[in-house]
Amino acid sequence: MRLLVFLSLAVCLVISACTKDQLEKDKEKIEKYLDDNGLIAESTDSGIYYIIEEEGTGTEHPNVNSEVTVYYTGYFLDGSFFDGTGGTPATFFLYETIKGWQQGIPLFKRGGKGKLFIPSELGYGSSNYGPIPGNSVLVFNIELVDF
């Protein structure tokens, strides 16, 4: 029984270390992209980098339980497009989205526009998801229409 507990703990530590290593790699990639493109971004404790380009109105921000309406374009750090709303906004509950959106969209006010740089851990992790390879940093242009 002690061996099982020890092995379980060891596996958890290895997984945690791998996630931390990937987060550091993603952070370096994001910071290089920002530097190469002359962009200045804020960052959260979880590793999301963001740029608020238009402040929006009011004082309220959505939360993870909010139903939000957004325009967005998703692409990789190399500029390759992978998803977007085009000319029609999308409406959904934030709790149904990736963790990066659950934490990043609440940084915006109604009508706010900007960019989110999401480390892979807060996107789709090490798993491939449609056109998104595992361990991909995701970049989103966001316009929060309403919530």
Q: Which amino acid is at 84?
A: G
Query: Percentage of residues in the chain with pLDDT exceeding 70?
Result: 87
| pTM (predicted TM-score) | 0.86
Q: What are the CA-CA distances from residue 52 to residues 30, 42, 107, 112 (Å)?
A: 16, 9, 8, 7
**Is residue 69 over pLDDT 70?**
yes
Query: In the chain, what are the domain boundaries?
Result: 2-146
Q: What is the pLDDT of residues 78-94, one digit of tens each?
A: 999 999 999 999 999 99
Long-range contacts of 35-40 (CB under 8 A, 24+ apart): 39/115
Tell which CATH classification among 3.40.50.720, 3.30.365.10, 3.10.50.40, 3.40.50.300 matches the domain 2-146. Answer: 3.10.50.40
